[in-house]
Every structure is written in structure tokens, then in C-alpha cells.
Amino acid sequence: MRIIQRAIHSGRFAAGMGLLLLGAFVPGATAQTPAVVINEINYAPSDTNNPAEFIELYNNSINDVDLSGWKFDAGIDYTFPAATTLPAHGYVVISSAPSTFAARWGFTPLGPWSGKLNNEGEQLRLRDAANNTVDSVTYGAGFPWPTAARGDGSSMELINPNLDNDLGGSWRSSGQPSGAGSPQIYVPPNDVTWHYRKGTNEASSPVSAWRTLNFVEDGTWDEGQTSIGYGDNDDYTILTDMENKYSSLFLRRFFSIDLPVKPPAIKLKVRVDDGCIVWINGQEVARFHVDAGLSPVYNSLVQNHEADIVTFEETNIFNAGAFLVEGSNIVAVQAFNTTLNSSDFTIDVSVEELPVTASASPTPGAVNSCYAANAPPAIRQVDHSPAQPVRGQAVTVTAKSPTRTAWFRFRSNINW
């Protein structure tokens, strides 16, 4: 059994005193999350005529991992062939029936293995080439383990690779929500850390360089809060000299993705008068009220569009994994007016995670449908001692959690 970030945390209060204690607990000593984790298990495929069981591994590290000579020796028997590499933050899938799997999912996995996954649950153990246990999961077919994974069309997916995957509460049936709450916002509206440059000439040479992560800004760039513009009295940063002087504005804003898995999709929100083009890490991702054939220059003009004072236009981008990177990213925007002497201009941009509506279908070789960056904690084995305290006696409350940091609250409503 692999223990990840688990500890016992205690608080004390005197019975009958009505004391409320609020605090944070952080494990004093935790086990290191393994680089390679068992991330998805399809032990009971719904198609019983052509079953293709599979196990997915995920590399939860920034380095490639050589799987040569690694093996499963509990639950199934399988040895990884030589020169098998699992890329950083990548996936590898092993199946009991590779040809059947390929016909269903469109790519050929590793395999086959010897044996069959037990539909009632069993231990799966992964060892490295030196025979060290890398990961182990003893799954079950009933609560608290995902119940829809037993022949109802779902697989069993890990919510987050940093959770203890030997706990049933760390898993969901594919297509089931994780209950993780609101999407993560990477760039909020009305943000104060945008860098901007007036479009009196090109922002860089070549003209596309300013859109990239490593571009070094010179003294022509300023910092301000969005929305940025003039006229209409709806902007935080006012461009008092734009009218009749320049028709575009260059903007850059860094944001960070500190996740083991990049979001598969993002939502882009824009409030613009008149139009703009948006790039992330140098790749164009959206245009608003700008002709598709326009190659933007500093003095370009675009369609006339009046921005709503409150409402943002939105577009969903589903190939976010193609251009987002773990760590620092850059969103670059070039916003345009419709004429040089236009009476108003405004630009504000927001970037946030887009929760992808999942079907019950498994997700081999891809981000789990239930994945959540801020996975809910699995608090268990809550107990107190003594079992029947007397008035004024100190009581110790204990609980176990696989999370790195959590908050707890104890309340006594006893009046003796």
C-alpha cells in the first residue's frame, strides 16, 4: 500500500465549553508522489463480446521515464519491452487485447498481458527494473470505489495524480464530476498586471516576436489595469492620446499553469471596441471582429463594433494542450480601432479553464474526464478520545487525509 501525503492531525477542546477551533493542518512528514502512477483502470468493459481491458499510466514528473524491464506482477503479468519511454506528463496504455482496443480507440496500446482484471477488485502492482514497487492500487467494485466502472460503460479514473490512488475516494467513474468547484481563472477581468504598448509603430522586429514568451520588453511598454481605452467612461486605464494618433494597442500578460496536467480546453472572454486578435505563446487562438485574411500591422483598421459596458464575448478553445505549457505562459493581444479618429476604444481579456462536459466513455491516453486541479480532500477515520468524556475533560479528535494541506473545524455544542 502506497501512502501519499497522509498524516494524523489532532485538535483539543474541553467538552461543554462550546469552543470553536479553526486552523490549518499540514502533514509533518509525507511520502513522495511517485513519478509514474496508475491513472485509469478499465476492468469491466461494457462490450462483453469484444472486451478490451486496459490500464493507463501517467508520468507525473518533468522528466521522461525509461520503462524498459518494468512489470506488473500482481493482478496481471506484463513486462514492458526494451526502449519503452514514458514522456514527461505523458501517458502509456496497456491492454489485454491490443487489436480490439485499437479498433475501439484509434491507437495501438502496449500488450497483451497475461491474466484478467478481477471484476470484484484486486491489487495491481507496478515494479521497476530493479524490482522496487513504484505504485500499487487495491481497487474495489463497490463504494467507496467508483460503481459505474463495473460494466456500465465507464472506466475508473484518478481525479488528480497527486492523490493517494489506493483510496477509493481519489477515483471517479469516467464522465462523473469530481465536485472540485469553480473553474480556475488564469487571467481575470479588470486585471492590474497587463503590459501594453501604443501602436505608433511595430512592437518588435520581426513583427511577431512580441507575441512570444521570451520577448524582452523595452521602455516603450507600460503597465496598467484593464479595461484600457478611451471614450464611453468605461475604462480603468485611459489612453488620452490615442484618438487621431494611433489605431492599435499591443498587450501582454503572463500567467502560470502550475498543474501536473494542462487543461484540455480554455474559455477566452473579450470585451473589445472595435476588434482584436489573441495569441497564446505565439500561436493565434482567436479573432474578434477582425477579418480572417488580415495580416495585422501596427496601423491596421478593423470592423466597427460597439462593446457592451458589462458583457464579455466568449469563445471556447478545445485544443489548449497544443499551445499551453506547464509554468509560465503569455497571452498577447493586438486590439484595433475601426478608424483613426474613432470616438472610443476599449479592450479587456480574461482566460479561464473550461470544464469539458464528459461522457461516460473512458479516456485512455488523454486527460481524465474527472480531472480536477483542486481536488476535494478525502477526510476519513474521524474519531475522538475518550469515547464518553466527562465535563471539563480534554478531548482529542483525529482524522486522516491524503491531501498536502487542509482546514479543519471542531465545534462543541454540549451544555452540561
DSSP 303-357: ---PPPSSPPEEEEES-GGGT--SEEEEEEEEEE-SSTT-S-EEEEEEEEE-PPP
- Can 36-173 and 185-353 be said to share one CATH topology? no
Q: Across the strands, what pairs with 20?
A: 411
Q: What is the DSSP letter of 98?
A: H
Cα(336)–Cα(251) distance, integer angstroms? 11
Q: Name residues whose C-beta falls within 8 Å of residue 67's C-beta, 6 or more positions apart in sequence.
A: 36, 80, 84, 85, 86, 92
**Where do the structural domains in the chain lie, given as residue ranges?**
7-29+382-411, 36-173, 185-353
- Find, among 92, 88, 99, 41, the residue nearest to 70 by Cα: 92
Tens digits of residue pLDDT in 126-149: 999 999 999 999 999 877 898 888
pTM reported for the whole predicted model: 0.53
Angle at 196 between CA 255 and CA 349, to 5 degrees: 50
Bond prior to 144 in cis (omega within 30° of 0): yes
Cα(251)–Cα(348) distance, integer angstroms? 10
- Across the beta sheet with 283-288, what order do the strands follow? 222-224, 194-198, 248-257, 327-336, 275-280, 283-288
Cα(274)–Cα(297) distance, integer angstroms? 16
CA atoms within 13 A on the CB side of 265: 13
Q: Is there a contact between 313 and 273 (Cβ–Cβ < 8 Å)? A: no
- Find, among 221, 227, 240, the residue nearest to 191 by Cα: 227
CA dist list (Å): 33 to 138, 260, 395: 17, 12, 33
Q: Name residues whose C-beta falls within 8 Å of residue 214's C-beta, 6 or more positions apart in sequence.
A: none
Tens digits of residue pLDDT in 334-361: 999 999 999 999 999 999 987 655 567 8
CA atoms within 13 A on the CB side of 346: 24
- Find, among 176, 56, 159, the residue nearest to 378 by Cα: 159
Q: Is there a contact between 228 and 246 (Cβ–Cβ < 8 Å)? A: no
Task: Mark 191-220 as b/e (b = at least 16 C-beta within 10 Å).
Answer: beebbbbbbeebbbeeebebbeeebeeeee
**How high is the pLDDT of residue 31?**
45
The reply to whether CATH 2.60.40.1260 applies to domain 36-173 is: yes
Cα(166)–Cα(138) distance, integer angstroms? 6
**How high is the pLDDT of residue 260?**
60
Q: Which helix or strand (DSSP H or E) is residue 104 part of?
A: helix 98-105
Q: Which helix or strand (DSSP H or E) is residue 100 part of?
A: helix 98-105
* Domain at 185-353: CATH code: 2.60.120.260
Cα(183)–Cα(324) distance, integer angstroms? 16
List, run by run, the mean pLDDT of 10-residue segments along the chain (416 residues).
27 32 32 81 82 93 94 95 94 94 90 92 95 94 83 87 88 73 85 97 96 96 96 93 96 86 83 95 94 94 88 85 89 97 96 72 88 70 78 78 53 50
**How high is the pLDDT of residue 10?**
32
Bond prior to 386 in cis (omega within 30° of 0): yes
Task: Mark 16-53 as b/e (b = at least 16 C-beta within 10 Å).
Answer: beeeeeeeebebeeeeebbbbbbbbbbbbbeeeeebbb
